[in-house]
Each structure stands twice: as structure tokens, then as C-alpha cells.
Structure 1
Amino acid sequence: MSLRTRTRRTPARALALTAGTAALSLALAACGSDAMSGMDHGASPAATSAAATAGGGHQGHQMPGADAASPATADAADAPGLAAERNGYRLTSTAGTLTAGAPAEYRFTVTGPDGRPVTAFRTDQTKRMHFYAVRSDLTGFQHLHPEMAGDGTWTAPLAALTAGTWRVYASFIPDSGAGRGTGLVLSRTVTVPGEGAAAAAELPAATGTATVDGYTVTVEGTPVAGKAGELKVTVSRDGKPVTDLQPYLETFAHLTAFHAGDQAFAHLHPETKAEAGGTGGPSLPFHAELPAAGDWRLFLQFQTGGQLHTAGLTLKVG
């Protein structure tokens, strides 16, 4: 599976579980990030946000463009990254639709327990905000680092989107309020009208390799739900090991995953941290517990020669 290369103009994080399962637990050895130990990707929403759904319904009012709560979607908020509100922090946006086939700007704010826009965020992997967009069939992955205005409004410059339903995720660590220092992943859905909106691409079969821009990425390991294990990623080119991986967001690779069916969010880091100016590869170990069985769509990002590459593959968890 090959994905189009993205430049480093806007170059980003937790393995998720399906609805109704227990909270995600990641074991990330030696990644050097204090923030990860405090990550809370959302097992059971707080009592004040029990009505939040995958798109998020807020008690007392409904934001323009927000997803309405329903019995079919209410439990989805229990899966990591699928709630718009968590622990009093809420992802809000008036953008319910975006235009297909052209670059678009998605504007949003994060409000705190006091209802005011949050403007203080801690830096995590060199960025204050990591923003992701993925279509409901797990195609069209985008990973951005938006800019924040003084009033707390973030603007994410999305590349052209295909018609369909997309989910956008905001990953951040507030540096104020009751949740100060605890990382969160919140999300909403957005509709992109147009021809082919209802057509879903078939999820590629699980495989241990993917190619992108002439590079071959190999993932080794047989993760079992609920048990700790290791995934080893190896990068090669023309059959030769690649050893000139450049630091990207403080590591030599960035791995994001989405669970097939519910789009629950997941993020892993290599066990080794990249030193500024150094190079790495060809092997990158990832240590994690995967509590849910099923197919996961993995997106591995790595950098060589100043160019960012994104490879996608499907991983089956038993």
C-alpha cells in the first residue's frame, strides 16, 4: 500500500479499543516523554460528559455542526479518541461540512471545564497540537500541526478531501485548568458532500509490508489483545537497510493507528528517542499493549533527506 508523500510543511500520538472495552494502556519504554504517562485517550467519559457521543452532544446546547447523540452512537464515546468531550474539555467547531476536492481550513477551539477557550497548551513532541483527519473507511490520512490565534481558535489547513464522512482528531495536553498536564484526544465528524460520498473503499488485507516512495516498510510481531508485546518496524530501500532516518517529532518514526469499524484512535512511539542531528534505522521497536482484537490501519511516518514519507498497512490483532 503506497500513500502520497507529504512535505514537512505541517509535519505528530496510543492504541485504541472498540466501544465498551476497558481503558487503553500503553507501555512505552524509554521514549523520554513525561506527558505520555499522563495520557488519557478516553475510556469512560466523565459524568459531566456522559451525553457526549462520537461527534459530541453537550448538556444544555448543541454546537452548530455537532453530531447529535443517539443510542447507536452513545457507547462509541467510550472508545479512545471518539468523544468530543472528556473530563470537562471539549472540542468545538461550527464546521459541519467541508468542500470536496479542494484544500480546506478546519477551525476549532478547545474549551475547558470553565467553558472558556483554552489557550495554554504544553508542548508534546515539539508541537502544542497534533491534528488528524481520516475518512470513515480509513483512507485519506492527514496529520497536521495547526496554528492557534490569540483567542484560542485553531486553524488546520487540510489538503483536498474526497467526498464522504471524515473524523478529525485533536491531540493535546492542556497547561491550565483541572486537567493540566493530562493528554487528551478528542474528535468530531465532518461531512464532505459530493459524488461517491457513500462509497467506501475496502480495507486492504492485513500484511506485514508496505511501500512508499521507493521505501519498503516491514512490521514484525503478532500482537495479542490484552497482552504486552513488541512491534518491530524495519525500513529498507532496494533491498538494503536504511540507516539515514532523520529525527521527526523527537523520534525516528511516528506511528498512528485507527481501529476498523469505529475509528478509535491509537498512537505509538519508538522505544528509542532521536537525538538532534543524529540518524537512525533500519529497525525501530515499538512496545505496546493492544487490548482489542480486530483490524487496525497503521500509518507510519518517517523522514529522509528532509522529506516526510507516510506508509499505510493493515495489522490484525488476535
Structure 2
Amino acid sequence: MSSSLLPARRRLVAATLAATALAVTLSGCGSGSGSGSGPAMPGMSGMASSAMPSANSSASASSMPSMPSMSGMGAMASGDGLAAAGSGYTLTSSTTTLPAAKASGYRFTITGPDGKPVTDFAVDQTKRLHFYAIRSDLTGFQHVHPTMAADGTWTAPLAALTSGTWRLFATFSPNTGSGKGSDFVLSRTVTVPGMAMDSALPAASASTTVDGYTVTLSGELMAGMAHPLTVTITKGGKPVADLQPYLGTYAHLTAFHAGDSAFAHLHPTTAMGGDRGGPSLAFQAELAKAGGWRLFLQFQTAGTLHTAAITVHVS
């Protein structure tokens, strides 16, 4: 190499090293920010505001991503719930099978980090614990509210189950101990004996009907971001404005991921304004994974609870 090229080569190497050092410095600064250190919250664009906010949601709708509480990581309601234990809390049950075609009770306890049953729970949407049952093909959805005995043993009243594998979820927030203030979702599976016939997941759609009501969704679902989802309810082409309060809000929305049954509770963000609500409700979506999800919207009119099921696709 000509000696006249050496100074230019040295200047090029020095510039490269300086740029690399600057990039490393900026990267290190970014990794310490709150927005980069926690798991990204999934979201949906185009949401409005909806019913009563939960502990982890804002009282008003926002297009900005919202981060879940970092306490209780691995078992929070913002997690997927596909484990029986997390952060020292365990959903414990000796039941591995439930009978087919008849009602049954599922008994379980929530044990804390000390290994003892937890008996003090915070109230969330009027209940101390919410319990869900979903079949592996995302059919047979049940949302019930167990009763707890003095020793911390819960009994969940389940309607008749069809043969197959079911995942049972418990969502709760301890009122004492290290998990106080954290929202947990834990689950276990049970088998219902017999010939299991799986159903194909219905195609994704923007609307569905139940009991004469049409439920329409508006919002772009996108994994890894938080955006609003608006639900509009009509009947006979007319807006429904007589929704009755249910669990402290005008509607309750739960979602399960196709393939692994990962759980998500979509928090309502429209404040309740009396005994009659609708036709539009807004929710904060927390769908962490791409793919198909089955949503179950529960709402009440004239003393009757309706459950609408709809499949959505998350990008």
C-alpha cells in the first residue's frame, strides 16, 4: 500500500470506532428506560372509552401503549395464564378429571409464597376471584364465580362439560402479602373422558349475533401494542341503549388464543353512567400474541345474560 494512503486509512478506522462507541452508549441509555425494560403490551388502534377501569387500566381511552404492573410478573392478569404457579402463588388442586355431560364442582386453593392458602383477596369487578373454563378448541366457554370456605378452599360450579381437554383459569389479586396489589392469572388443565370431537375455529369476523343482538367490533388488533377496541351492540338494526350493569360494568370481555388457550381480559374503559348503557362500549386490549383469538363478550339486558363469541385475527 502506498504510504500516502496511510493517514486516510487511519482517519477512516478512527471514525468507525467513534461511531461504534456512540451507538453502544445510546443503546445502553435506552435499555434503562421503563418503556424498553418491560414486556411490550399488545394493542388495538381505533378504540373508544369503555366501562369501569380495572386496576391496570386508565379511566379514559388512550391510543398510547400502556404497560402492565411489573409486580407479580409471570402470573399477572396481563400474562397469558398458561402456568399453575408464578411469583410464589400457586393454583393447587388434586382434581385432574371432571365428568362429562353433567354439572360438577371444581375444588382448588390459591397458596401463597409461604405455602399456605390465601384467604384475603381484593375485589375486582365486584368479585374476589373470577374463574373461567375453556375447551382446547376454544368452545364451551364458562365464566363463573366460586365460593370460598374459611380454610381457603374454593369451589367453582361448572355446567356440563363435553369430552376433551379443558383449561381452567383463576384470576385474582391478593389483599395481603408480597403479591398485594398485583393481578394474577393462573391455570390448570383437566380431562373430561369420552370421545373428543374438536371444532374448527370459526373464521375471523367483525361482527356476530347472539339472542337477536348483533355485536360489532371496531379496532385494529396488533400484537405487542396497546390500542382501544370499540364494541357496538344493536338489535333489529337499532342501537341498544338498555344494557344493564354486569360485574360493575356494562359488559365483560375475555379472549383466548387459538392453539395454546392463552388468556387475556380486555379491560373496560368507559365509566358506568347509571342503570342503562350502550350502544358503544370501549375496551383496552391486551393481546400479546399474533394469530387467531376467540373473544367472549358478556352483557345483560332485561335480567338475561348474553354471551357473544367472535373470532378475531391479531397481526
TM range (shorter): 0.7 to 0.9
Per mean C-alpha deviation after superposition, the further-off stretch among 179-188 and 290-299 is 290-299
* Matching of residue 298 in structure 1 with residue 295 in structure 2: yes
Query: AA paired with 1:106?
Result: Y
CA shift, 1:180, in A, is: 1.1
Alignment of 1:224-263 (within 5 A): 224-263=222-261
**1:72 corresponds to which residue?**
none
Alignment of 1:1-318 (within 5 A): 22=39, 24=41, 32-33=52-53, 35-36=55-56, 44=74, 80-195=80-195, 197=196, 199-275=197-273, 277-318=274-315
CA distance in 2, matches of 1:90, 1:40: 18
Q: RMSD over aligned Cα, in angstroms?
A: 2.5
Query: AA paired with 2:172?
Result: F
What is the DSSP-based 3-state SS (H/G/I as helix, E as strand, rest coil) of the residue aligned with 2:121? Answer: coil
Greater share of helix residues, 1 or 2?
2
Per mean C-alpha deviation after superposition, the further-off stretch among 286-295 and 81-90 is 286-295
May I ask how many residue pairs the two structures share in their alignment?
264
CA shift, 1:32, in A, is: 5.0
CA distance in 1, matches of 2:289, 2:164: 27
Query: Where does structure 1 lack aligned partners over 5 or more consecutive residues?
Result: 1-20, 47-77
Q: Rg: which structure is higher?
A: 2
**2:30 corresponds to which residue?**
none
Per mean C-alpha deviation after superposition, the further-off stretch among 227-236 and 117-126 is 227-236
Query: AA paired with 2:114?
Result: D
CA shift, 1:309, in A, is: 0.3
Query: Where does structure 2 lack aligned partners over 5 or more consecutive residues?
Result: 1-37, 58-67
Q: Deviations over 1:189-213 (max 9, x none)?
A: 0000012x2x211000001111111
CA distance in 2, matches of 1:30, 1:312: 19
Matched-pair identity in %: 61
What is the DSSP-based 3-state SS (H/G/I as helix, E as strand, rest coil) of the residue aligned with 2:268? Answer: coil
Contact kept in structure 2, 1:24 and 1:41, CA below 8 Å: no
Query: AA paired with 2:309?
Result: G
CA distance in 1, matches of 2:242, 2:96: 42
Q: Taking structure 1 as the reference length, what is the TM-score of the superposition?
A: 0.77
Residues 229/295 of structure 1: CA separation in 2 closer, same or farther (3 Å cut): same
Query: AA paired with 1:193?
Result: P
CA distance in 1, matches of 2:71, 2:206: 27
What is the DSSP-based 3-state SS (H/G/I as helix, E as strand, rest coil) of the residue aligned with 2:55? Answer: helix
